[in-house]
Structure 1
Amino acid sequence: MVGVNNSSSANMVALILLLLCCGMGGAVAAAKNPKVIIVGAGMSGISAGKTLSDAGIKNILILEATNRIGGRINKTTFAGLSVELGANWVEGVGGKETNPIWTMANKLKLKTYRSDYDNLTSNTYKHVGGLFEQSVAETTYDLLEEVYSFSENVSKSLIAQKHDDISVLTAQRLTNHVPATPLEMAFDYYNHDYEFAEPPRVTSLQNTQPLPTFENFGEDVYFVADSRGYETVVHYVAEQYLTTDKAGKITDPRLLLNKPVVEIRYFQSGVIVKTEDGSVYRADYVIVSASIGVLQTNLIRFKPDLPKWKILAMYQFDMAVYTKIFVKFPSKFWPSGNGSEFFIYANEKRGYYTIWQHMEREYPGSNVLLVTVTDDESRRIEQQPDSDTKAEVMAVLRDMFGKCIPEATDILVPRWWSDRFYKGTFSNWPIGVSRYEFNQIRAPVGRVYFTGEHTSEHYNGYVHGAYLAGIDSANMLLDCIQKHKCTYHHTSPKGRGD
């Protein structure tokens, strides 16, 4: 168990003296001392702030490393269009429960488009030689659907019998059919990597099949293509407790931008937070919403060091990389109309520019294609010039559509893995991380609390996971502040508190 002691006036005096003498450098912020500092203004940090504010804890301070709120929900302009560098879909719509992000998107009247993947077997291309015959693609696709269904049943059985977890690949091996041909690998990539951004050999079976997002919220996914950006949902949450000007710009002094946090000192009586510019802030508590990828680096130093159980748990979780590459052409050369939005390229190299999407509904007449890569391919592409990526993309498209297609005029390659403030796009639950260890990832350490999509028990990796995690982490802290329940219990595999 992890607990904190209530502060006393003596402890607070000691903390102030320590702040003045600890040698951290910089000046103490002139603003009134906050009760809680929130590190990061992505969806989870903003959600946590709203939950605290709604409960009467309004004396908060949000320190954001970049010049904007939204985190990994981030729009940019490409070829005159507003496109999403990061999160792009509302995933999980049409089920027995309502996805809270879908509710917000509808309230805000965001332009969204249902993604229809039903006709993939008619739009699957060979490495060289054009389309596969639909009957061949359907046979392969149906076989892999059987493998997927078998794996899901294995997962349910393991959970029911409380057996250890296995990887998705191990479950596939139990069927004596591991995807091996280019066509099989392409559909396997679509079923797994396209969702989790990592391959079956590392992905947990029990925590991804069945997937709670689709089980609870529904199987439909909607692509956001709105000039205001997907980040509008983050602003919607923020504006419910942070003041704005007449233009809607957040002007609340409790939000400070361009404030990368580099050090967090924590004591029995409070916390001290230092930013890269040398500023020093103190509070009773801190909520850290940095990504699991950032927590696995030394960007934020904790003093004293986080306990070994915490570090080990965090280092075992994966920060995946999911890269959406936008490509602009002077004219359209791909099929369009119903049943043609998504198409697949079956290269001999697994995951090599496999999943394609045209933007005819989302951006009519734009002549833009979107191709998705993940994991090692994402890291490789981030380290090469965009001109090399563009040449690779053109070679793949010529394999699919012939040598006479027009040359791309522009390309946009996001670099989430290279960005020190993110180190990837979203978390993936790997084999070997139990519920016990996951609870350790969520667990506070003294007065330091943690949030982010990676702390969402059922929805890690998703926008709704980030939103709900912010609420959960804030409620955990509120239990401590308001109810003096400052001990977090998590059960070990042997059933003991730790």
Structure 2
Amino acid sequence: MKGEAMKFHLLIFMIFLVNLASASSSPSVIIVGAGMSGISAAKKLHDEGIKDFIILEATSWIGGRIHKTEFGGYVVEKGANWLHGAEGPLKNPMYEIAKQIKLKSFYSDFSNVSYNTYKQDGILCLGTKMVIPILVLGNSTHISPKGIKKVVTEVDYSKRGKVTIKTEDGKVYTGQAVILSPSIGVLQSDLITFKPQLPFWKRRAINEFSIGVYTKIFLKFPKKFWPTGKGTEFFYYVHERRGYYAIWQQLEMEHPGANIMFVTVTDDESKRIEAQPDEKTKAEAMKVLRKIFGDDIPDATDIMIPRWYSDRLYRGTFTNWPVGYSIEKHNNLKAPVGNVFFTGEHTHAELFGYADGAYYAGASTANEVNKLLKKKMSPSLRSLSLTSGRADGKRRPLLYLLLSLPRNEQLENPFFSNCLYLYWWM
């Protein structure tokens, strides 16, 4: 099992570097994004014998919203670093991979968190004990190849059996199909232009889904002034403003002697903090800490604030299923348009918002592309005739029948859009 896990990671490294550096500009498949879903799609294609593909990644690292960095002389994770589902009959595949390659990890100790909750004036609240085992990943391998920064700005799927991708640096790539794995926040922005414009049902499904913002504000101090030991890893701060510097975690378990802690804010507070200077944020955080631990604690010597919402290549951290958003709309969200396929954690109906959702979604999308390339199945149409029988024995084009549908049904129906696309080119 360990050998298989190592093979998985070595394959990721090999696929990314070799395909990016030496692949043709006219591959069978173009994968946009080297986050979890993009890499998972690439691995699945490779396993199925499709090796003529390239990955275009907009940043300088592999992993997307899983991104470690150095802070205060230690490695910390700016994005996703908790593995939920570490126990139970159906384990998170990320947990299995981490275990097989002996990745350094820790259990987050929430055992006394309700006892470590402070009111707005800094007074400790009384609570009840709670235990939530969540695995935290430690120092994972960071791959940062040079020359990766390929920001996709245009997807042209107007020609039969061909998709053309343009990047910000003027490069052009052409393939039989494209897998798009950017976040839903990017798809909702104007970063990528589609030619022709995506159909109404697709645009509606994209624009009505939701992406949240989750920000970890890291602070380093000259000395430790908070309690350590069992049951002290987390503490909460309750304020009249919802989510105001609410969830704190000290990193003594991961990095003994580092004197580092971070506070988590979300959504509106994240956006507010991203828009203001770091020094103002530090002053606000120190005011909260002094209410809890007293006025004589030292100022933080360093601060780091990831800005996921402001970053045009992410525009948020993970998706949320909005109230009233139907499963039919979600099916439209993940449905292909012609030879343009969509993947990512936002396309998984059950595990949206999680890295394992991205992992499964990437593999699933690769399967659909594989079926298309091997001509076993048309994208999202399964086995359908493009004509319809009549009682008089004559056959009427299916396009005619589709056009006879009420206009609102045409606009809402991905079946109509894909049939129209295929009919036009057959």
TM-score relative to the length of structure 2: 0.82
1:130–1:401 contact (8 Å) kept in structure 2: no
Identify the residue that residue 314 of structure 1 maps to in structure 2. 206
**Closer/same/farther in 2, CA of residues 272 and 95 from structure 1, 3 Å limit:** same
Counterpart code for 2:154: E
2:201–2:413 contact (8 Å) kept in structure 1: no
2:251–2:261 contact (8 Å) kept in structure 1: yes
Deviation at 1:108, TM superposition (A): 2.2
1:225 and 2:117 equivalent? Answer: no
Match of 1:103, SS?
Answer: helix
1:44–1:289 contact (8 Å) kept in structure 2: yes
Identify the residue that residue 356 of structure 2 maps to in structure 1. 464
**Closer/same/farther in 2, CA of residues 32 and 399 from structure 1, 3 Å limit:** closer
Deviation at 1:465, TM superposition (A): 1.1
Deviation at 1:31, TM superposition (A): 2.7
Identify the residue that residue 67 of structure 2 maps to in structure 1. 74
Deviation at 1:295, TM superposition (A): 0.2
Matches within 5 A, 1:368-407: 368-407=260-299
2:339–2:379 contact (8 Å) kept in structure 1: no
1:45 and 2:38 equivalent? Answer: yes
Deviation above 4 Å: which 4+ runs of structure 1?
A: 494-498
Q: 1:260 aligns with which of 144, 151, 156?
A: 151
Match of 2:85, SS?
Answer: strand
Match of 1:333, SS?
Answer: coil
- 1:448-498 deviation digits (Å, cap 9, x = unpaired): 0011111112111111111111001111111222243114169x9x99966
Identify the residue that residue 60 of structure 1 maps to in structure 2. 53
Greater shift, 264-273 or 307-316, is seen at 264-273
Q: Which runs of 5+ in 2 are unaligned?
A: 1-21, 383-408, 417-426
Counterpart code for 1:260: V
Identify the residue that residue 242 of structure 2 maps to in structure 1. 350
**Closer/same/farther in 2, CA of residues 355 and 30 from structure 1, 3 Å limit:** closer
Counterpart code for 2:93: P
Match of 2:336, SS?
Answer: coil
1:419 and 2:419 equivalent? Answer: no
Match of 2:135, SS?
Answer: strand
Identify the residue that residue 104 of structure 1 maps to in structure 2. 97
1:127–1:346 contact (8 Å) kept in structure 2: yes
Identify the residue that residue 304 of structure 1 maps to in structure 2. 196
Counterpart code for 1:319: I
**Closer/same/farther in 2, CA of residues 495 and 271 from structure 1, 3 Å limit:** closer
Match of 1:369, SS?
Answer: strand
1:120 and 2:12 equivalent? Answer: no
- How many Å separate the matches in 2 of 1:339 and 1:330? 23
- How many Å separate the matches in 2 of 1:69 and 1:221? 24
- How many Å separate the matches in 2 of 1:497 and 1:33? 28
- 1:273-329 deviation digits (Å, cap 9, x = unpaired): 111111111110000011100000111100000000000000011111100111111
- How many Å separate the matches in 2 of 1:489 and 1:399? 61
Counterpart code for 2:208: Q
2:60–2:145 contact (8 Å) kept in structure 1: no
Identify the residue that residue 272 of structure 1 maps to in structure 2. 164
- How many Å separate the matches in 2 of 1:85 and 1:328? 15
1:294–1:423 contact (8 Å) kept in structure 2: yes
Q: Which runs of 5+ in 1 are unaligned?
A: 1-28, 143-218, 236-248
TM-score relative to the length of structure 1: 0.70
- How many Å separate the matches in 2 of 1:281 and 1:224? 36
| Identity value in percent | 52
Counterpart code for 1:60: F
Identify the residue that residue 420 of structure 2 maps to in structure 1. none
**Closer/same/farther in 2, CA of residues 449 and 115 from structure 1, 3 Å limit:** same
Identify the residue that residue 35 of structure 1 maps to in structure 2. 28
**Closer/same/farther in 2, CA of residues 399 and 478 from structure 1, 3 Å limit:** same
Matches within 5 A, 1:83-482: 83-132=76-125, 134=126, 137-138=127-128, 220-226=133-139, 228-229=140-141, 257-266=148-157, 267-482=159-374
- How many Å separate the matches in 2 of 1:94 and 1:319? 27
Return the structure number with greater relative CO, CA threshold 8 A, min gap 6: 1
- How many Å separate the matches in 2 of 1:409 and 1:387? 11
- How many Å separate the matches in 2 of 1:81 and 1:456? 34
Deviation at 1:406, TM superposition (A): 1.1
Deviation at 1:391, TM superposition (A): 0.1
Counterpart code for 1:402: G
1:271–1:283 contact (8 Å) kept in structure 2: yes
Match of 2:95, SS?
Answer: helix
Deviation at 1:268, TM superposition (A): 2.8
- How many Å separate the matches in 1 of 2:25 and 2:174? 10
Counterpart code for 1:258: K
- How many Å separate the matches in 2 of 1:59 and 1:30? 7
**Closer/same/farther in 2, CA of residues 129 and 287 from structure 1, 3 Å limit:** closer
- 1:110-141 deviation digits (Å, cap 9, x = unpaired): 11111121211210111114212x2xx34xx9
2:176–2:339 contact (8 Å) kept in structure 1: yes
2:151–2:168 contact (8 Å) kept in structure 1: yes
**Closer/same/farther in 2, CA of residues 113 and 276 from structure 1, 3 Å limit:** same
Deviation at 1:400, TM superposition (A): 0.9
**Closer/same/farther in 2, CA of residues 336 and 429 from structure 1, 3 Å limit:** same
Deviation at 1:32, TM superposition (A): 5.5
Counterpart code for 1:264: V
2:39–2:362 contact (8 Å) kept in structure 1: yes
